[in-house]
Structure 1
Amino acid sequence: MYHYYYPPPFYPITPNVSPAGAHVPLPPSPYLGPVPLHAAPPGYDPYAYGVPPYAYPYYAHNALPAAPPPHQYPAHASQLHGLLHYSKVPRLRFDVAKPYEHVTMLNGSQIPPGNQVQPAVLAPTTKMRLVSPGFPWVIDIDTERPTEDDRFQAGSPITVEILLQKLHATLRSRMTSSEWLLCDKTKRTALSAAFKARCGASGKEYENGLCWVDFLTQTHFYGLTKDDKVVSETLVGRKDEIYETWVVIFGPPRR
């Protein structure tokens, strides 16, 4: 007697899905079909996406915080070299009443040589004009017309060192008799007192006589800034626009 073996019928296995989760929609999958080789859609960057951007579904998301408004950043702050930018705590120990050799960083260390030869402003220039509420004169720096005492080449951009040296040399210039006559009695008394205090026991300083620096009630360099009011009051009647004008701020010594 023969026994025939009949294999059990094949039935596909159906996963047991609960009624609560059977109708949960799945997120749409990105389209991974072939990408046409002709013109790519606008804004498509092949290095920024794994698949074309139009293949991804759109999801609303929060953007990164916006940058602060431009007016919160003074434009002149980023144009000046850091050593020259005005601050209530100056970066340099620079007393224009003393010889230039005494100029150091605020902590007493020497100014790095690499910083001294860097341009004074972001866009290198050969012409700068300095004014200050502390003195009535205008200091023009023009490297295209160097004097005999200048050590830089004609036409070289104004560097940090050039600006500091020209500021110091100009303020140490001797006053002329005509400038002295323009001062009233009160100003002459103040100038004489400042001159005696600056000279001290130095015979050489006495020989040089009154200088522009004696006009200053405070002689420590705090930096450069922009001040339209000071500029307009100092440059009355001047129409020269080729110079970039900055205001020099002086203050008391810092410990």
Structure 2
Amino acid sequence: MPPIRHAFATLAIGATYSVVCYFVFVYGYIIDYFHVSFAGTVSYATVTISQYLKVSNLFGRYITPEVRRYLMSNRDALELGGQETELSILFSDLKGFTSMSEKLEAREVISALNEYFGPMFKIIIDEERGTLDKLIGDAIMAYFGHPQPNKDHPVQAVRAALKMQRRLEELRQEWEKQGKPLVRMRIGVNTGRVVAGNMGDAGRTDYSIIGDNVNLASRLESNAPVDGVLISDSTYERVKDYFIFKEREPIMVKGKEKPIKVFEVLDMKEGVK
């Protein structure tokens, strides 16, 4: 039961109990009202705090306050198991960071990663309302349109990808002035149905997404041009009115019988918000 419904249920029970206490008192009996009311309040507080801790443990700071509020009022979204849903998945990976790491001290590597991840997280989470799924070394996996449903998730994912490339270019110029080796980035975006949910057992859980469309997004990233954004045909059909594209040679993906149509995203269309 969502916390708000739990609150109304607690109030309804409390009101009913108050009426019973009144009529019983009229007939000469006394019922302990305080302790029952106190128990109801504690029950509601316990459920609310438990839900808050659950959301915090699963997502930490990797969701927007808006999504956090949504999860606080929709407890079923965090139950063990999964649900099939459509969303857009983004994979990004740095090219040249390994060689850069070999030329820097350990603390400089961490500093460089923090300089990189900070603005990327801001773009994904704060600006485009995405959810950060995981970091794999210097790679980022994120998705849009879940856990809070949002029909504009393909546009948000592609827009985030373009912003990330532009921000890295700015960061690259700063690093060049500091004499640091240059890095490049590839990004892949795919839209499709996946299984999303809180997976694991009661002692250890991980909220994530799985499915063929997740794997395809990863393959798109590995096939993307350096400094480019490569998207699937399913994403293209949803965002073609908002961006400028260049169709690339279809790619073969493991598990697929036919080549996959892909498009490189070049820029936003002028005048499109």
Question: Bigger relative contact order, structure 1 or 2, given CA contacts below 8 A and separation 6+?
Answer: 1
- The structure in which a higher percent of residues are helix is 2
- Computing the radius of gyration from Cα coordinates, the structure with the larger value is 1
TM-score, normalising length: structure 2: 0.20
- The structure in which a higher percent of residues are strand is 2
TM-score, normalising length: structure 1: 0.21
